[in-house]
Amino acid sequence: MDAFQAVPARGLRAGMTLVELLVVVAVVSALVALLLPAVQSAREAARRTACGHNLRHIGCALHGHLLAKRVFPVGCLEWKPGPGGTSRCLAWNAFILPWLEQQSVADRLDLERPYDDAANRSAAAVGMPVFVCGSSERVGLTIGGLGRCDYGGVAGERITGPNAPMKGVLVHDEQFGTRQIIDGLSKTILVAECSQGVWFDGQWINGRNLFDQAYPVNWPTSEDEIRSRHPGGAQGLAGDGAVHMLGENIDRRVLAAVCTRGRGESLGMAW
């Protein structure tokens, strides 16, 4: 017998027992369960930040229009209740395209024709990421064949009473300069998110891309309102270019005040 012949090892095993495998699976599952909310929270924080950047770009474009024309753009030029007809129903977005580095699209628009005229169809179908909130459940860059917009112009409020005449800055067939916004630019919301649920008017060229606030932020309603998929609120752009998170629990008197341009309200509390 060879003195160097190997002796079979005893008590060694090459794999794991079923119990050990189950323990490992349980530990990994627990770690995933702990990490997943943190990952989702980080992703939402990134989407919210990107959304805020979109609103700041829109704010810069609105002020570009203000510097060039001495007024903010009209909210809707020649409003109409639906497609068809001769009224143009052009949205405020169409008038700030040059300041969003979209001059080529602006050059293709015929602002003497309705937003849904065949002559404007090609340009109006251009989807622009600056008008899209990443947290929205809407899919794609177009709605009904036209470029999508998750941000609406604030035409006023119906919390304290009828919005007639319109109390906001981006209204029908009128344009306002800074002197006419007597509540102050920093206390007046010009544009806010309307990125939750179906919004058929959410097209950047469509002049019905406006709303007058009647309910709390993120209230489940079929109307065009300030609402988003951001937890706890929706973002709004003030006239001074600042972006604010409007909380779901914001005092309704404050919400009404920031949606108007010249009623002389004193906010009196944080928003």
Span 198-219, pLDDT tens digits = 788 899 999 999 999 999 999 9
Average pLDDT, the chain: 90
So what's the pLDDT on residue 264?
A: 80
The single residue listed with the structure tokens 């993120």 is: 218
Closest CA to 183 of 227, 235, 238, 251: 238
Whether 134 shows a pLDDT value over 60: the answer reads: yes
- Do residues 73 and 62 lie in contact, with contact meaning Cβ atoms separated by under 8 Å? yes
So what's the pLDDT on residue 203?
A: 97
Q: What confidence tens digit (pLDDT) does each residue in 155-210 have?
A: 999 999 999 999 999 999 999 999 999 999 999 999 999 998 878 889 999 999 99
Beta-sheet strands, E only, within the chain: 76-77, 90-91, 142-143, 146-147, 151-157, 189-193, 210-213, 233-238, 243-247
265: confidence class by pLDDT, cuts 50, 70, 90: confident
So what's the pLDDT on residue 2?
A: 54
Whether 233 shows a pLDDT value over 90: the answer reads: yes
Q: Which residues contact 124 (CB under 8 A, 6 or more apart)?
A: 109, 115, 116, 146, 147, 203, 204, 205
- Do residues 143 and 129 lie in contact, with contact meaning Cβ atoms separated by under 8 Å? no
Write down the pTM of the prediction: 0.85
- Do residues 66 and 57 lie in contact, with contact meaning Cβ atoms separated by under 8 Å? no
Q: What confidence tens digit (pLDDT) does each residue in 69-109 have?
A: 999 999 999 999 999 999 999 999 999 999 999 999 999 99
So what's the pLDDT on residue 35?
A: 63
Whether 245 shows a pLDDT value over 70: the answer reads: yes
How far apart, in Å, are the Cα atoms of 7 and each of 2, 3, 4, 10?
11, 10, 9, 9
Q: What number of residues does the chain have?
A: 271
Cα–Cα distance for residue pair 85/58, rounded to 1 Å = 29
So what's the pLDDT on residue 4?
A: 52
So what's the pLDDT on residue 160?
A: 95
Strand partners, 238: 189
Cα–Cα distance for residue pair 236/246, rounded to 1 Å = 7
Strand partners, 247: 233
User: Torsion over CA of 242, 245, 246 and 250, rounded to 10 degrees?
Assistant: -110
Tokens of residue 124, six digits = 């109006």
Whether 113 shows a pLDDT value over 90: the answer reads: yes
**DSSP H helices in the chain:** 18-69, 103-108, 121-124, 252-258
